[in-house]
């Protein structure tokens, strides 16, 4: 499926794009000094959709004490400008690195999110903010975007947003009541509900049982699109009933190319229903930025992406 961001599309037609994990560690920090065109040629693909969403895998801070964990990612508010100028319309911050620098880092991250040029979801001064969707209307279609982390680790255990304390939106329970309740409420109000999750097992290209159970629960609650990242590899995409599910978008802008397969997922919506999908394959180079593939490389990558559906248990078309 190819898309072009344009007001010439018919009423009721909306195109969405999704990419995986992004951060600006080490040499990628140099991109912050030149936000225009920082992501290179992939920008054209991101801008082509009506709305594009990614996961920013970082705390947005320059202070704070490191959390007791193996890896720590952080960046500055300029990262939000880079993503905004690259065509990203919604940024998810519910992940296992958004609070890598304690309460000071969390305070800074929440402050940066509130002033971001592109809307940020999945984090807030309290649970009400963290589970609040970004709402937008495109050609008569009302959409709501959520983000939440399913990872049972330090961030979700120590820094889950609560009624009176800041943190991230989480979905670590078997049936995450707060997220499901928010999705159900949005489903009654909005035409299309999107949930971006931080989920899956690292390096596993097949979704786990917990992913499948949560995807079905969200579909039953009214989610129309469920996508996610965290595994650092691509996982399958397709439909469960009328709900479109992508189990893993892999890395997108990353400081190494050890798991280089990447890309941009495209989804077409007509009258509130997801009717088509497409994959624009890319490969992360040594500089950390994704390069869109062409020719035989592109054909092979799309075939590999299609094959991932096999172990994901998803359909090639929506249920009639």
pLDDT tens string 243-271: 999 999 999 999 998 889 999 999 999 99
Q: Return the domain boundaries, the chain.
A: 13-311
- The secondary structure of the chain in percent helix, strand, coil, rounded to multiples of 5, reads 30, 30, 40
Whole-number pLDDT of residue 174: 75
Within 96-209, strands assigned E span: 120-121, 123-124, 134-138, 141-149, 167-168, 192-198
Note the pLDDT tens digit of each residue in 8-55.
Answer: 789 999 999 999 999 999 999 999 999 999 999 999 999 999 999 999
Residue 87 Rama label (left phi>0; alpha psi -120 to 50; beta): left
Within 118-219, strands assigned E span: 120-121, 123-124, 134-138, 141-149, 167-168, 192-198
Note the pLDDT tens digit of each residue in 130-145.
Answer: 999 999 999 999 999 9
Whole-number pLDDT of residue 171: 97
CB 259 within 8 A of CB 280: no
Q: How confident is the model at residue 298 (pLDDT cuts 50, 70, 90)?
A: very high
Whole-number pLDDT of residue 8: 74
What letter does residue 66 receive in the DSSP assignment?
A: P
Between CA 93 and CA 60 the distance in angstroms is 10
Handedness of CA 143, 110, 227, 36 (dihedral sign): positive
Average pLDDT over every residue of 273-295: 97
Q: For residue 223, which of 181, 174, 264 has the smallest C-alpha distance?
A: 181
Q: For residue 131, which of 164, 168, 95 has the smallest C-alpha distance?
A: 168
- Rounded to 5 degrees, φ, ψ at 214 are -65, -40
Beta strand 251-253 with 243-246: parallel, antiparallel or unpaired? Answer: unpaired
Between CA 147 and CA 156 the distance in angstroms is 13
Q: What is the CATH number of domain 13-311?
A: 3.60.21.10
């Amino acid at each position: 499926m190819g898309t072009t961001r344009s007001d010439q599309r018919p009423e009721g037609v909306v195109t969405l794009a999704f990419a995986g994990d992004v951060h600006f560690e080490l040499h990628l920090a140099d991109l912050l000094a030149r936000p225009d065109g920082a992501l290179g040629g992939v920008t054209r693909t991101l801008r082509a959709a009506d709305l594009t969403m990614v996961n920013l895998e970082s705390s947005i801070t320059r202070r704070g004490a490191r959390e007791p964990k193996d890896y720590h990612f952080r960046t500055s508010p300029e990262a939000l400008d880079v993503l905004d100028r690259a065509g990203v319309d919604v940024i998810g911050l519910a992940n296992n690195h958004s609070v890598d620098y304690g309460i000071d880092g969390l305070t800074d991250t929440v402050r940066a999110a509130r002033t971001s040029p592109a809307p940020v979801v999945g984090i807030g001064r309290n649970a009400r903010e963290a589970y609040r969707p970004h709402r937008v209307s495109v050609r008569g279609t009302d959409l709501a975007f959520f983000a939440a982390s399913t990872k049972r680790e330090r961030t979700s255990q120590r820094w889950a947003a609560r009624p009176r304390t800041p943190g991230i939106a989480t979905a670590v329970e078997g049936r995450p009541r707060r997220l499901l309740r928010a999705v159900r409420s949005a489903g009654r109000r909005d035409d299309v509900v999107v949930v971006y999750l931080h989920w899956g097992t690292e390096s596993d290209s097949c979704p786990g049982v917990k992913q499948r159970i949560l995807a079905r629960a969200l579909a039953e609650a009214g989610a129309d699109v469920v996508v996610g990242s965290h595994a650092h590899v691509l996982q399958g995409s397709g439909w469960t009933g009328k709900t479109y599910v992508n189990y893993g978008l892999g890395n997108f802008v990353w400081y190494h190319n050890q798991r280089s397969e990447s890309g941009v997922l495209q989804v077409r919506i007509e009258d509130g229903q997801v009717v088509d999908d497409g994959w624009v394959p890319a490969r992360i180079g040594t500089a950390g930025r994704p390069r869109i593939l062409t020719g035989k490389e592109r054909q092979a990558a799309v075939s590999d992406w299609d094959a991932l559906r096999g172990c994901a248990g998803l359909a090639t078309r929506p249920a009639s």
